[in-house]
């Protein structure tokens, strides 16, 4: 059975992350003419058109000569955005989608055809439901000011080379259809204000469901064998995470679950977590009949993405893609631990996950440091190597666990834009880990290793996992921390 998945961390594209302001509930569509949302440097008014497209009207607090999109993966805008103004062009420049103006401007307008494709390591800009409803991601409109084309080329494709003041982004969605965002049902318009993240806004007339653990929209075409146990599965998973983290989420999780049909072979699943929302898309012939394997995978997926909601609540964000192993790996470690407590899952599943993580992490480390993996195009390394590092961290701190580690690391980000590896390793030492073991973990993350296999095995032994390997060099036994 073919299984595809992606997990959206989003940190690779962001310079600063902060929680967005909740939308105001309104009863009337508001005029978009000349609108600048309070406190924003850039406001994008996104108006739903009758033909399924959107008009996007950007307003700038100060005249500008150009911008580039912080989220420029997928290269879809040049084909799906059309300028409505003379003197405004949208081009692909040095790896970034870029807006260039023939002189200083305070407004730029576009007609946008929704693009429902997948972007590795980031959120899809639009998600389609079977009844034609759409979930729109506001973070796709994030832009950063530049003087001209040469300034974008000078970045050499690396957003970290940009220097400037990141504007607060306001996005107003205007639609005659009902909307759902941040757990609220909205009419007329929905406002989102953020600086580096974004929210999904559901636009459509699908049935809104409220369960014990979530509020959201499940696609009406989703197979009944998934729908009927969705709430109970989430309740069990979130109960385990609440126990582990020691707190409840500030609000129930919102869930948008889209079904993309039975056309493709096997089973495909993709999605992500942002703020308090889980966004999922599933499809494939394997969903026609109940499948224990697919159900186990979906439970793991819910757990992984659910962890991100708790990480968000604890202030645990990776500062850049170099440090995504902290959040993505930690989510894997917690998800594997949670599923080990559930009934009905195949025996040995947790060990099987770590066999896969070990083999995949070795391949990644052979290519270079973990901190450079995403820039090498190896997005999986953050999950696989990060999972092993999370498990070793847990084993190396006998008076703590993976949840205490996560909350302690998140507590360090109060006055900083995100977590770095050094903050993580300093936390381990404060929690009682042997500095020599921490040095081994640090080397796995940031060094170009002469012998990755020996280094990884030595760190696993030193941390207390006591691994056993078979004649083929595969992981065959592991002592999991309690």
Q: How far is CA 136 from CA 54, 72, 192, 209, 301, in A?
A: 11, 16, 12, 19, 21
CATH number for the domain that contains residue 92 = 2.60.40
pLDDT confidence of residue 1 = 32
User: What is the Cα–Cα distance from 409 to 426, expressed in whole angstroms?
Assistant: 9
| Residue 478, C-beta contacts closer than 8 angstroms, at least 6 positions apart | 351, 354, 465, 466, 467, 468
User: Residue 27 — very low, low, confident or very high, per pLDDT cuts 50/70/90?
Assistant: very low
Handedness of CA 264, 267, 270, 276 (dihedral sign): positive
What DSSP element (H or E) covers 217?
strand 214-218
Residue 14 domain-assigned?
Answer: no
Q: Provide the number of structural domains found in the chain.
A: 3
Compute the average pLDDT of residues 298-312. 91
Whether residue 363 is found in the same domain as residue 474: yes
Tens of pLDDT, residue by residue over 316-354, are: 888 888 999 999 999 999 999 998 887 666 668 899 999
Structural contact between residues 136 and 125, judged by C-beta atoms closer than 8 angstroms: yes
Count other Cβ atoms within 10 Å, centred on residue 137. Answer: 24
Q: Which residue has the tokens 């493709």?
A: 264
Residue 2 domain-assigned?
Answer: no
Q: Which residue has the higher pLDDT, 293 or 378?
A: 378
Question: 445: closest CA among 362, 369, 357?
Answer: 369
Residue 8 domain-assigned?
Answer: no
Residue 234 domain-assigned?
Answer: yes
Residue 210 φ then ψ, to 5° = -120, 115
User: Residue 30 — very low, low, confident or very high, per pLDDT cuts 50/70/90?
Assistant: very low
Q: Are strands 7-8 and 267-274 parallel, antiparallel or unpaired?
A: parallel
Find the domain containing 90 and state its range.
19-201
Residue 12 has pLDDT above 90, yes or no: no
Could you tell me the pTM of the whole model? 0.77
User: What is the Cα–Cα distance from 305 to 178, expressed in whole angstroms?
Assistant: 26
Residue 10 domain-assigned?
Answer: no
Highest mean pLDDT among 53-67, 117-131, 209-223, 240-254: 53-67
Whether residue 193 is found in the same domain as residue 212: no
Q: How far is CA 3 from CA 124, 283, 289, in A?
A: 18, 10, 16
* Residue that finishes a domain, picked among 201, 221, 249: 201
User: What is the Cα–Cα distance from 225 to 209, expressed in whole angstroms?
Assistant: 16
CA atoms within 13 A on the CB side of 106: 6
DSSP category for residue 106:
E
Question: 442: closest CA among 466, 465, 420?
Answer: 420
Whether residue 290 is found in the same domain as residue 163: no
Coil vs helix vs strand at 250: coil
Tens of pLDDT, residue by residue over 442-468, are: 999 999 999 999 999 999 999 999 999
Structural contact between residues 80 and 111, judged by C-beta atoms closer than 8 angstroms: no
Residue 15 has pLDDT above 70, yes or no: no
* Residue that finishes a domain, picked among 201, 218, 251: 201
| Residue 437, C-beta contacts closer than 8 angstroms, at least 6 positions apart | 392, 396, 459, 462, 463
* Residue that finishes a domain, picked among 160, 185, 201: 201
Residue 293 domain-assigned?
Answer: yes
Coil vs helix vs strand at 440: helix
Residue 3 domain-assigned?
Answer: no
Residue 140 has pLDDT above 50, yes or no: yes
From first CA to last CA, the distance across the chain in angstroms is: 33
């Amino acid at each position: 059975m073919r299984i595809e998945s992606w997990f959206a961390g989003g940190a690779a594209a962001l310079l600063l992350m902060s929680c967005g302001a909740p939308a105001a509930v309104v009863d009337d569509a508001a005029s978009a003419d000349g609108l600048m949302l309070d406190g924003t440097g850039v406001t994008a008014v996104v108006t739903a058109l009758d033909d399924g497209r959107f008009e996007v009207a950007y307003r700038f607090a100060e005249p500008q000569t150009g911008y580039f999109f912080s989220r420029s993966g997928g290269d879809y805008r040049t084909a799906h955005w059309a300028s409505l103004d003379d003197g405004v062009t949208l081009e692909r420049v040095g790896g970034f989608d870029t807006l260039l103006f023939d002189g200083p401007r305070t407004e730029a307008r576009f007609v946008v055809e929704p693009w429902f494709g997948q972007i590795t390591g980031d959120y899809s800009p639009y998600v389609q439901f079977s009844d034609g409803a759409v979930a729109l991601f506001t973070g796709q409109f994030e832009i950063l000011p530049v003087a001209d084309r040469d300034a974008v080329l000078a970045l050499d494709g690396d957003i970290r080379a940009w220097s400037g003041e990141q504007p607060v982004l306001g996005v107003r969605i205007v639609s005659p259809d009902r909307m759902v965002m941040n757990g609220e049902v909205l009419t007329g318009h929905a406002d989102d204000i953020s600086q580096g993240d974004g929210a999904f806004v559901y636009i459509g007339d699908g049935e809104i469901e409220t369960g014990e653990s979530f509020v959201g929209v499940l696609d009406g075409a989703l197979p009944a064998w998934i729908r009927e146990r969705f709430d109970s599965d989430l309740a069990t998973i979130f109960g385990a995470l609440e126990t582990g983290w020691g707190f409840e989420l500030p609000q129930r999780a919102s869930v948008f679950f889209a079904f993309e049909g039975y056309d493709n072979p096997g089973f495909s699943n993709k999605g992500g977590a942002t703020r308090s929302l889980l966004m999922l898309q599933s499809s494939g012939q394997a969903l026609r009949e109940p499948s224990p394997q697919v159900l186990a995978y979906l439970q793991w997926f819910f757990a992984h993405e659910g962890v991100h909601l708790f990480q968000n609540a604890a202030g645990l964000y990776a500062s850049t893609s170099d440090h995504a192993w902290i959040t993505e790996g930690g989510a894997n470690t917690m998800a594997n631990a949670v599923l080990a407590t559930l009934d009905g899952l195949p025996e040995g599943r947790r060990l099987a996950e770590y066999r896969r993580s070990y083999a995949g992490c070795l391949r990644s480390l052979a290519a270079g440091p973990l901190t450079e993996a995403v820039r090498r195009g190896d997005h999986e390394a953050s999950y696989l190597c990060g999972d092993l590092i999370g498990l070793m961290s847990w084993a190396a701190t006998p008076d703590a666990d993976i949840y205490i580690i996560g909350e302690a690391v998140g507590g360090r980000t109060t006055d900083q834009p995100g977590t770095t590896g050094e903050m993580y390793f300093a936390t381990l030492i404060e929690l009682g880990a042997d500095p020599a073991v921490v040095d081994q973990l640090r080397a796995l993350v940031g060094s170009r290793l002469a012998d990755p296999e020996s280094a990884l095995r030595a760190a696993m032994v030193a941390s207390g996992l006591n691994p056993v390997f078979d004649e083929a060099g595969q992981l065959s036994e592991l002592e999991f921390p309690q």
